[in-house]
Structure 1
Amino acid sequence: MSITLTESAANRVLSFIEGRGTGLGIRLAVRTSGCSGMAYVLEFADEQAEDDVIFEDRGVTVLVDKKSLVYLDGTELDYAKEGLNEGFKFNNPNVKDSCGCGESFTV
């Protein structure tokens, strides 16, 4: 099982954590939402929960709860700027379909 980050994503996360001044890393999860069923959650992690699985990539600590890991295994987190838009992108090999707006997915 693995979660990885592109160099661009790792640099952006490390910049956010440095600007924030504290934090263990980031937490990735999924929640029920949207028209396709599931949505990604990306937030700062200040402490480890009992059911977290920890990944380290490019200097970033990534925490994922065991329930979410089933849906996120193999995911690569990327960060891209496209024109005026910029943000994190989840390259998830488990996704079978996603909604038109890109907010939710099914596996």
Structure 2
Amino acid sequence: MTDQTVTLSQSAAKRIATVISSEAGKDALRVSVEGGGCSGFSYKFDLEAGRQDDDIVIERDGATVVIDPVSIVYMAGSQIDFVDNLLGQSFQINNPNAVASCGCGTSFAV
């Protein structure tokens, strides 16, 4: 099942493909939303082998991201990006549903 309501930037796809290729037995990055964090919800990133039957699968340039059906509700319309700047390297989610976020960049409110 593929759902393009969440997209990957070119830089995120490149980084995910690089990370997955260096991790034996892993073939996807799982992005999920959990309760908690400074603003109410937070993103979680895990490398996974395989998928669940109800996962939403996003693929670009050799990178695969899987998102569970509950998390996709909070992430619809988002773009997953990878930023490499003076402050460091990190995945960032540009989420149009977030009405507030905190300085850590991984916590948000809807």
Output the TM-score relative to the length of structure 2: 0.86
User: Of 75, 83, 95, which aligns to 1:80?
Assistant: 83
For structure 1, which runs of at least 5 residues remain unmatched after alignment?
Answer: none
Matched, 1:59 2:58: no
Cα distance in 2 for partners of 1:73, 1:90 equals 11
**3-state secondary structure, aligned to 1:36:** coil
List per-residue Cα deviations over 1:48-107 (Å, max 9, x = no partner).
113312222233222111110000111111111111411111111111111244341111
Cα distance in 2 for partners of 1:75, 1:58 equals 18
Match in the other structure for 1:42: 45
Output the TM-score relative to the length of structure 1: 0.88
Matched, 1:27 2:36: no
Match in the other structure for 1:91: 94
Q: How many corresponding residue pairs? A: 107
For structure 2, which runs of at least 5 residues remain unmatched after alignment?
Answer: none
The question of whether the paired residues in 1 share the 8 Å contact of 2:92 and 2:105 is answered with no
Q: CA RMSD in A?
A: 1.5
Task: Give me the identity figure in percent.
Answer: 37
How far off its partner does 1:24 sit? 2.5
